[in-house]
Amino acid sequence: MTLAHKTTATVLVLCTLIAFTPAASAAKPQTRNRAEIPADVRWDFSPIYPNWQAWEAGMVEIEAKMEAFAKLKGSLAQGPAAVLRAYQGYDEIGKLQYLVYRYPQLQRDTDTRDQAVAARFQRVGAVFAKFDTATSWFTPELLKVPQATMEKWIADTPALSPYRFTILDNYRQQKHVLDEAGERLLSLASQFNRTPQATYQELSTSDIKFPSITLADGKEVTLSPGNYSALLESNPNQADRARAAAAHIGTYGATANTYAAIYNSLAQRDWFMAQARNFPTTLDAALDGNNIPRPVVETLVETTRAGTAPLQRYLKLKKKLLGLQEFHLYDNFVPVFRSDKTYPYEQARDAVLASVAPLGADYVAKYRRFVAGGRVDVYENEGKKSGAYSAGVYGVGPYLLLNHNDTLDSLFTLAHEGGHAMHTVLSYETQPFVTADYTIFVAEVASTTNERFLLEHLLKQTSDPKERFLLLQHSVQEIVNTFYTQVMFADFELQAHRRVEKGEPVTTEVLNTIYADLLKAYYGDAVTVDEFYKFTWSRIPHFFNTPYYVFQYATCFASSAQLFNAMNTGPQAERQAATERYLTLLKSGGNDHPMAQLKKAGVDLTQRATVQAVVEQMDALVTRMQAEAARVR
């Protein structure tokens, strides 16, 4: 264990999944040349560094500070002053890390073709890696000081109090740290532990050959992931969609035995590591970092499985509105209604600002300042990274990347990423550096809550049933994607890992059966599940890259649903109190374990009712959709 790596952009990973907008259409302005896009809708990097010379000086400075930090080795046992000196030294390096990392990273993302910027960015990676190795002594040395002694040092030294949570969390995790020989042995396996992921990457991207099919209109299409999802969204011919799905998923099915062998090796690795570190299950091992009790995931899975009725009702409604005899999984992406309504950025920004008025004047004022110019990179340009994200720079604030294309999706993406950015704003201005970063476990609460505010705001603005239907459908589809689907994925991971823990084989047949049974459990008779969908597990990168990760989308969503209800129902005084608790959550950064932070805000994820709130929200939204659809006809 080394000190936490502050600049790993974990939030970014989440957002690419949720907010990725395929097939960007014409953006305004009508140029893809970055230089021709107005400066106020492009990033201004000068608050980070005025120029590259200043960045170079920062790189020199950080190396010097790292060397000075390394000299503190062996000093921690001297007493509280020595511990304080080390933590403050680490803070200084951490703050600099943000600056030297983000300056090239953000610029690279505005033009990924720029090799000079890419090369500078790589230099940052090399310096960080060196630091990780050079600081590996820190935690073991800290833990040689007995916990009672350390607690006394903290109590007697007011300047150490901001570090209390971080320091004591090291002791909490100590029981899973082995002796020096054991840690060395495990560290020797770290390269090789990445083998399943690396093999999956090669098989699913480098070696995979996607087939071409001829569509009903005679056009030939190669079923790469991008073409495939575009086809499912836009092709009105069900037979075309059916053949595309069979061919695309069948490509993975053709090498399913290899995928299963990779998955088995990954689950075996997880079980090996869990046992080596004295965890009773792989799930316990995965949850320990954030101190999340195992029943949180188990309750999530059980409650969601029991709450699939609204999901099935939604799919049946779509089937009816689309006029299909049979509704297949590949039919779920075809829009029921098409709309040519556009949401230009200025309008989108105003709508998002107006929607969060219930969070109070202070929140709105800070949000308005953030979007005033220089911090939001709005439009697509040549070479710019796709998707959307919010990235923080401690001491400077967040930067937000968009590819706004005037669609309803891009309006909600702004609300989502704006929620992350405001979380960063409030956390940075409230928390000292050491606890300023929030975990993924809390991050998606901020973003999904703002999406919900936007939905309710937009519904108030229009009485057009078609527009209202599309708004509601957008939100329902988000619950399908970020809640139901992710819980189903978590369920799959749990079942497969449990088999390994019991010493039972994990084969293609086993994985196919788990997946097919899950599809049946979730979709019931609302969907005709084609045989080939049993191979779907092999095309989910999260299963192979980050096991036991996806459930966090769902717990965030559940937390957000409950917080939103508390802020918007009941007597005024209670709503006000709930809003204050919510704002306190946003301001609390990473100053406690995420479950504890959420509990202070009024959310208890160990309770079934918290998860049930999403099921009920889904049910209410589908009922509203149904009513609007009846008005369109």
What whole-number distance in Å separates Cα of residue 260 and Cα of residue 506? 7
Residues 405, 221, 413: CA angle, nearest 5 degrees: 20
Structure token pair of residue 597: 């932070």
Catalytic position from the list 202, 220, 346, 417: 417
**Does 14 help bind Zn ion (rule: CB under 5 A)?**
yes
**Residue nearer to Zn ion on the CB measure, 380 or 417:** 417
Which parts of 210-239 interact with Zn ion (CB under 5 A)?
none
**Residue 603 beta carbon to Zn ion: minimum distance, rounded to whole angstroms:** 18
The two three-digit tokens of residue 314, written as one number: 């939604």
Stretch that binds Zn ion, among 190-198, 443-451, 523-531, 608-616 (CB under 5 A): 443-451
Which span sits near Zn ion by CB under 5 A: 15-23, 33-41, 76-84, 601-609?
15-23
Instruction: Write the CB contacts of 196 (distance below 8 Å, at least 6 apart in sequence).
Output: 262, 263, 265, 266, 269, 544
Query: Quick one: 274 or 445, whose CB is closer to Zn ion?
Result: 445
Which residue type is seen at 235? Answer: N
**Cβ 538 to Zn ion shortest distance, Å:** 26
Judged by CB under 5 A, the stretch of 7-15, 195-203, 245-253, 350-358 that binds Zn ion is: 7-15
Phi, psi of 280, deg, nearest 5: -70, -30
Can you read off the two tokens belonging to residue 300? 């999530």
CB of 15 vs Zn ion, minimal distance in Å = 4
Contact 610, 558 (CB under 8 A): yes
Taking CB under 5 A as the binding criterion, the range among 11-19, 48-56, 258-266, 509-517 that sits at the site for Zn ion is 11-19
Q: Minimum Å distance from CB 225 to Zn ion?
A: 21
Cβ nearer to Zn ion, comparing 14 with 583? 14
Residue span binding Zn ion (CB under 5 A) among the ranges 10-18, 237-245, 364-372, 617-625: 10-18
CB of 11 to Zn ion, least distance (A): 6
Straight-line distance from the first to the last Cα atom of the chain, in angstroms, rounded to the nearest whole number: 61
CB of 559 to Zn ion, least distance (A): 14
- Smallest gap from residue 443 Cβ to Zn ion (A): 6
Q: Over 292-308, what HEC string results?
A: CCHHHHHHHHHHHHCCC
Q: Is 15 in the site for Zn ion (CB under 5 A)?
A: yes
9 or 242: CB nearest Zn ion:
9
What is the distance between the alpha carbons of residues 234 and 23, in angstroms, rounded to a whole number? 11
Stretch 301-340 residues interacting with Zn ion (CB under 5 A) = none
Task: From residue 364, give the alpha-carbon distance in Å to each of 40, 346, 348, 368, 371.
Answer: 20, 16, 15, 6, 11
Shortest separation between residue 546's beta carbon and Zn ion, angstroms: 15
Residues 400-429 close enough to bind Zn ion by CB under 5 A: none
Within a 10 A sphere around the Cβ of 38, how many other Cβ atoms?
10
DSSP string covering 169-207, please? HHHHGGGG---HHHHHHHHHTHHHHTHHHHHHHIIIIIS
Query: How far is the C-alpha of 416 from the C-alpha of 420, rounded, in Å?
Result: 7
Q: Is 434 in the site for Zn ion (CB under 5 A)?
A: no
Q: What is the nearest approach in angstroms of Zn ion to the Cβ of residue 337?
A: 27
Cβ nearer to Zn ion, comparing 413 with 617: 413
* Interface characters, 47-76, with Zn ion (x: CB under 5 A): ------------------------------
Q: Which is nearer to Zn ion, 447 or 597 (CB)?
A: 447
Stretch that binds Zn ion, among 87-95, 206-214, 372-380, 445-453 (CB under 5 A): 445-453
Please tell me the count of residues contacting Zn ion according to CB under 5 A: 3
Compare residues 248 and 375 and give the one whose CB is closer to Zn ion.
375
Please report how close the Cβ of residue 560 comes to Zn ion at its closest, in angstroms: 11
And the tokens for 370?
């953030």
Look up tokens 């040519």; give the residue. 340
For residue 40, count other CB atoms closer than 10 A to its CB: 11
DSSP 327: -
Stretch that binds Zn ion, among 6-14, 52-60, 147-155, 424-432 (CB under 5 A): 6-14
Distance in angstroms (rounded) separating the CA atoms of residues 371 and 489: 36
| Dist CA 415 CA 409 (whole Å) | 10
Residue 421 or 601 having the CB closest to Zn ion? 421
- Collapsed DSSP state (helix, strand, coil) of residue 237: coil
Beta sheet of 376-377, edge-to-edge order: 376-377, 397-401, 389-393
Q: With contacts defined by CB under 5 A, name the span among 83-91, 259-267, 363-371, 439-447 that binds Zn ion.
A: 439-447
Identify which of residues 14 and 422 has a Cβ nearer to Zn ion in the complex: 14
CA of residue 171 relative to chain centroid, distance = 28
Q: Kindly state the smallest distance separating residue 392's Cβ from Zn ion, in Å.
A: 13
| Residue number with CB closer to Zn ion (96 or 352) | 352
Instruction: By CB under 5 A, name the one of 97, 413, 424, 447 that touches Zn ion.
Output: 447
By Cβ distance, which residue is nearest to Zn ion? Answer: 15
Q: Are 102 and 58 in contact (CB under 8 A)?
A: no
Is residue 67 part of the annotated active site? The answer reads no
Helix axes 572-587, 408-430, angle to 10 degrees: 70
Whether the CB-CB separation of 608 and 572 falls below 8 Å is answered with no
For 282-388, where are the E strands, in sequence order?
376-377
Cα separation of 318 and 327, whole Å? 8
Q: In the 8-state DSSP scheme, what is residue 329?
A: G
Q: Which is nearer to Zn ion, 15 or 563 (CB)?
A: 15
Q: What sign does the CA torsion over 437, 438, 443, 449 have?
A: negative
Beta bridge mates, 457 = none
Q: Which residues form the catalytic set? A: 417
Residues found near Zn ion in the complex (CB under 5 A): 14-15, 447
